[in-house]
Amino acid sequence: MSSVLADFTAKITTETPTAPDPTNARILLGSDQLVLAVSENEKEVVPLSSIMDINPGSVPQIFESPSGKPVTTAYTREQDRQVALIAGDENTITKFTSVLFKTILNGTKTTIKHPAKLGGRTVDSDFRGGILGIEAGTVRIDTEDGPVTIDTKKVIDFNRGTRPIDGVDRPVLIADHMRNGEAVSTIITANSGQTFAILGRFLRTQYSKHMSDLQQLSLSEDETELLTTVYSTGEQDTTLAKVTGIDPQKLKSLLHALHEKELIESSKEKPVLTSKGQVVVNQYLERVNN
């Protein structure tokens, strides 16, 4: 096979006769194929070009729940959709999943509109071509105008939709993310169905992790109100003390608590929302307005 990018042992379950039940197997990832080898003669050889989904943490209902951290791959074989489940050591599976995403996505062609929105304002920018690259916690698209980067930890909203591109409605991924304390919207589509599907899964996975972390967060009513005030004051020439009427010492304590929870950060001598803070405010405003 091509150069080996990953080589480890795990349990696999496949829809094919290779491993209908959880079975120990050697996992080999090359630059063009994934091999799930139960033995020299029993193996599942999956061309990377046929993989249409990578779903970390997912166990299809047709399989029994395995021990260890799972990742499911879906691929096409003779026009039929097949599914394989790999489960093993958490650290090993996490690294393997990251390498698999990178191997399939890096160097593929995309079309982006950036920024599509800036601070909530629609920007009159054009779609342009780019080359995709996945790095640790970052999606990067190299364009003729320079690189566009999305820090996946700073994504505050993620959706799918359609947009007219060159007169044709095409499916797009819409990522809202924070940059220098301001919300930026980037719209991405891909030149292949595989790239679009797997990039969408990658962004959705990163966003879901972000949301899961926030579910563990506990805020007092005063902290929530102050966080919303930081958001609403924006670029206005004002101070939080004037707007909130909170005692300066208590205000300092609340700001410190929000900073410790990574919901605000300092910028130009005033607090601004982090991506986590923006998500909390968005969720709070959504509850209030419904």
CB 21, CB 35: distance < 8 Å: no
pLDDT at 275 over 90: no
**The three-state (H, E, C) secondary structure of 13-81, written as one string:** EECCCCCCCCEEEEEEEECCEEEEECCCCCEEEEEHHHEEEEEECCCCCCCCCCCCEEEEEEEEECCEE
CB 14, CB 20: distance < 8 Å: yes
Position of tokens 């566009």? 148
Q: Are 4-89 and 109-215 equal in CATH topology?
A: yes
Digit-coded pLDDT (tens) for 133-172: 998 789 999 999 999 999 998 898 899 999 999 999 999 9
CB 5, CB 31: distance < 8 Å: yes
Reduce the DSSP state of residue 267 to 3 states and report it: strand
CB 132, CB 196: distance < 8 Å: no
Residue 276 is predicted with a pLDDT of 86
CA dihedral (132, 134, 139, 140) positive or negative: negative
CB 177, CB 154: distance < 8 Å: yes
Mean pLDDT for 277-283 is 86
Reduce the DSSP state of residue 100 to 3 states and report it: helix
Q: What are the backbone dihedrals phi and psi of residue 289, each rounded to the nearest 5 degrees, phi first?
A: -85, -10
pLDDT at 192 over 90: yes
Average pLDDT, the chain: 91
Could you tell me which of 148, 200, 132 has the C-alpha nearest to residue 172? 200
Q: Report the CATH architecture of 4-89.
A: Roll (2.30)
Residue 8 is predicted with a pLDDT of 97
The pTM for the full model equals 0.85
Q: Report the CATH architecture of 109-215.
A: Roll (2.30)
CB 140, CB 180: distance < 8 Å: no
The class (CATH top level) of 221-289 is mainly alpha
Residues 6+ apart with CB under 8 A from 282: 156, 157
Strand arrangement of the beta sheet that strand 43-47 belongs to: 43-47, 33-37, 23-30, 4-14, 80-88, 69-77, 51-56
Buried b / exposed e along 236-272 (16+ C-beta atoms within 10 A): eeeebeeebebeeeebeebbebbeebebbeeeeeebb
CA angle 15, 134, 153 (to 5 degrees): 100
Residue 3 is predicted with a pLDDT of 86
Residue 1 is predicted with a pLDDT of 57
Mean pLDDT for 125-134 is 96
Digit-coded pLDDT (tens) for 38-80: 999 999 999 999 999 999 999 999 998 888 999 999 999 888 9
Ranges of each domain in the chain: 4-89, 109-215, 221-289
Digit-coded pLDDT (tens) for 217-231: 889 989 998 999 888
Residue 236 is predicted with a pLDDT of 57
